[in-house]
A and B are shown apart, each in its own frame.
Chain A
Amino acid sequence: MKFRPVLFLAILMMLAATPLAAQDNVITLVAYDSFNISEDVLAQFTEETGINVEILRAGDTGLMVNQAVLTTGNPLGDVMFGIDNTFLTRALEADVFLPYESSLLSTVPETFVLDGEYRVTPVDFGDVCLNYDISYFEDAGLALPETLADLTKPEYSGLLVTPSPALSSPGLAFLAATVAVFGDADDNDGYTYLDYWQELVANDVFISEGWTDAYYGQFSGSAGSEGNRPLVVSYASSPPAEVYYAEDPEAPAPTAAITAPDTCFRQIEFAGILNGTDNVEGAQQFIDFLLSLPFQEDMPLNMFVFPVNSEAALPDVFVEYASIPEQPVSIDADEIDANRDRWIQEWTETTLR
């Protein structure tokens, strides 16, 4: 009998933890782990449309997309946000999304619209670029690398850390960039990306498990880092984040991105209405909201990405510290998806084993 209070407490706690009963007009947004939005912006959407938004976080991009493929027709929610161009074909081939052409697409440059059937809508973009530790390069009097090929030169030996392409999305983006620049191995008998990676390994590149370990564990530029490598594969928006989250906002930026031609890879992130939703209309309204100015202008400081809406104003810290590469490497989403598995396998066998 003495166990009673415990059980009672347990039941109470369960009740407290149970989500509220479903409201009339609710849509569920499935998003990757780093999704974020300001309360007032979301509240404004609910006020204007009467739609309540529930947010489900479904792991990183790869995990989220694979879950969506597994649950096609019986989805976990109504709208998905965060699928990028490296995973796009996988989802489109599995019929994960329903087509919808938002009227707000008129504000979006056409280069961002990758699916002619409008099954996904571009929402933001970010460039995977080399970041460097400003003070290291100043102190050493070393010139910055200007091409990816420069990274194999002796003066940059032991300086670079990159997240692994096998398990991280910036890592995969960097691998795709090297394929675009140096050529694929299957149609090329000359110098290929695999030769490039062998040279990188010979030049003592450090391959980290994920972005977090690369950026915080190995890179020397991030504030408070224990790392000792002054070059890292990260985002062009990482330097403004360093300033925004700095101890002293007045201090100069500790890091900057290299945006030389053919060194960056552009990731475009999309949203789509999940096939099997029972609230198509609500889902369409939410897609419109994702392209609208309130969300597009709220997004940069919440997720450190750039808005696709050309009318959206950038926050000051982005204007001052972020740079957008003029000429990112160009490689098709289809080509990435068709070859990703082979590239990862070849890369793994070349660099790791």
Chain B
Amino acid sequence: MFRKMLVFLVLSIGLYSNLIAQKTYTFNSPGNSCYFEYMLYAPDEVYERHLRPIVMVVGSAGDAANEVFEKDTLRNQLAFYNSLFIYVPCPAVSPTTRLNCLEPLKSLVAGHLRRSQNCFLRIQDRSIKRADLERWDLQRAFVNIQLPENSDSEFVLEEFTDEYDLEEKMGGVYYEEETEINEDNLPETGRIWRTYFGPATQYHFKLTGVIRDKSSHESLPGARILVRSTESGAISNADGYFTLIDVPSDTTTLIVEILGHSPLEVHLSPNVNKNLFVIELSPSIVMLKGVNVVAVREDVRFTDNEHVGAIRMTPKKLEVLPNIGEKDVMRSFQLMPGISAANESSSGLYVRGGTPDQNLVLYDGFTVYHVDHLYGFFSAFNSNALKDVVVYKGGYEAKYGGRLSSVTELTAKEGNQKKFNIGGDLSLLSLNAYAEIPVGDKFSSIVTFRRSYKGFLYEKIFDKFNTSSSSDTPQAGPGGRFTSNAEATSYFYDLNGKFTYRPNSKDVMSLSFYNGTDKLDNSIEIDGSAMGPGGGLGGAGFSLNSTDLTKYGNTGSSFKWSRQWNSRVYSNSLVSYSHYFSDRDRSTERNESDTTGTTNTVKNGIFENNDLRDYSFKSDIEINMGDHLKVETGMFATYYDILYNYAQNDTSSVLEKHNMTALAGAYLQTRIKLFHGKLHFVPGIRATYYDLTAKNYFEPRFAFTWKLSNKLTLKGSTGKYYQMVNRVTREDILSGSKDFWLLSDGKSIPVSSSDHYIVGLSYETNSYLFSIESYYKELYNLTEYSLRFQNRPGLTTVNENFYTGQGTAKGVEFLLQRKIGKVNGWVSYTLGQARSNFSVYSAFDYPANQDVTHEFKLVALYKYKRFDFSATWIYATGRLYTAPSGAYALTLLDGNSSDCFTVTTKNGLRLPDYHRADISVNYKLLAGTDGDRKRREIGYLGFSIFNLYNRTNIWYKQYTIVDSDIIETNVNYVGITPNLTLSLKLR
């Protein structure tokens, strides 16, 4: 019989292609067991609207369709305004016989309304029991069934509105696909059910709202809220708040876009709270039929209509990118155009020919001065603690200051505001755990901790795949070279925490802290007994134990209070503390035996200590003056206390500097939109008074974006930038240059500055982005420290070893990104040049240390069911270095000779080109039973291979002088390194 009904169903669909309306219809033909008249009714009287809930009501025994309609009370409720009702008669004898007809009827109507899966059933006949429903598997056909035994209770609106609300209860949900779906044809945005179809009641009003994550209630910064069919829109601030100054009517549709979440259409209605309109976005990757939100999300955004050279990335993205042991936010940014990728040993970003110290790193508002873990292979930031990361590659706004090149702003998670959550990752390198603890509905917290470990697998992999060596042949006399090996070993840990209190809908207070420490041990053992006859020691043997022990870390904390005063004014104030320390103890013990077997021990050492404390206050105020004008202003003050001590050979100080000073200032910038939002420009000025030089520094800034068409945007920016706290490079030819933080004093270490000129063009469609950006930077009063030039022994003051120079950086970046689709990713190429001019090194310009001419990056992501595949390939011109080039001997007055060494021209040599491929695959772990369409995502199992083809990339060359011989050591980056990651979470 069921087959017969299906045949009839197909025939009926054909007949049903006419417009439906509120009237009585006939289902099947006379003689069929399911022959009866039923009635359709839509409260909004729009019968042709697709994607709407269906409510089927089966009357009491003996009721005809029109009687069921008349007795029904649901249709008058506002919650069912957009539902379509089907009124089904109930036979007086054996009402249960009607049950087998309900599913085909629902399919008929739902099929006409395409994708209407939200179907609900209300049965009024008391003789029908739940067991009767099971016979026809009606629980599968209807989302919710209401029987007479609970007919007194009302339908809960929540159950009717959105199947997606499962996420609210369960966290991330994975929807098992029933059939293959062509993602390329998915709509640009998802939709939320419209609940109101009446006329507008209010026009041209202000709407203030907050964007938050549906499952955790975390506020979402950086979301774009656009008013459909207009040019107006807003971007949510750090606390997720936004204000639309002029919403045309209260039936307008908003489009909400944010990284890591599906874009969404939100329909306003007269009932929404215009002072605090809450929009909740789902984090799941939903690309399936049968759910309300059908769209593809972006995880990386290279363009931003309000900022030039900004890249925003959701930490969620990090999971699917290959990693060497830890998903790492800074490492992932190095895959972006304009940010150098050839520095495995630096998590600090080399942005557009700038150095990492020229990149301002803000973590919840406090400055982080050192972002490296484990020789820089990992960043100091635990991605489990992060919510949002933005890098401004240059020409950044007046709101930020104190750095010459760029800004990286990291916002930490506030923690799940609804339910307790716990999770963690275990990789071959580290253990990473977090807990999210809400207390009531006003307080949330998150604590994350991770620590590296040298487990069995770590050792095995490292020993098997990672070797460093050099292969120079020894030479006679001064200049003979021997080889040795060095391998990097160490551990690190970090702890993050954030406690957020929302006393009311306007205020947010949060306390954030970070503590991380590294202990590094990079020791080298050299055995000279194996050297050839050309060695300079005449057959004598020696051994050299070089202890290289470094301990460094950061501690930072900020307390932030932000308030949405009203729809126009938002403020954000914070006090913060940041402490960076670095203690380096490098001592060399040399045991030398002569031909008689006598052993002499010589011990030398370098002791280097850097200690920086930063106490800051800042306050930002945003004032929305209208749809075309927004004013942003603020003030800031910082007190610095910086100590640096450097001792060479023994504990006597070569350089000791201890400076304390304060700076304070203010900024003002405006966001102006003209020509219906097509032209957007941001003039601004920043003024700083710096106590150590007792001078004022003014930094004018200007940026614009000009939408030439819907797809084509021209953008540019320029500005002046000053940097008072500098990380000075201490040149060291032998063991690699090091850096230390010092305050500019206006004398030996001048206040450095830069001028930026940036222009770019982007062409963006729904699927693709092509972008070209060109930059030119001039840098003034850069400082380096070198002990290479001491012409007045004993009389040279420490300040004479600081050298001042200039620099330029210029380049062009090309990017092609496929934003959505099963295979997505990007290709980028950067042609760049960074030059320095320090007269002490050379009379002419020379390539700066960070100069990289060509850099090519390929990032490909592929999603197949529960698998996420990714592959990256990086190619970069080799980095520059300076090396010992030769030697000579001078006869002294006492008859002895002095061996002297010469070096190449500054940065006269390049290491071999750097290239590397990484791959990874993640498999989603789900709770529940196989075959369930909706299953909760509880983590993933990831496998990645770093440096897939085991390319030997040289980190740096180290030279050691033993008597008259130079020992050259290639310190290499890591070779092929597989990694397994198990990530689990409660919700």
* A-B complex is real: no
On B, residues with C-beta under 8 Å from A are none
Interface set of A (CB-CB < 8 Å, partner B): none
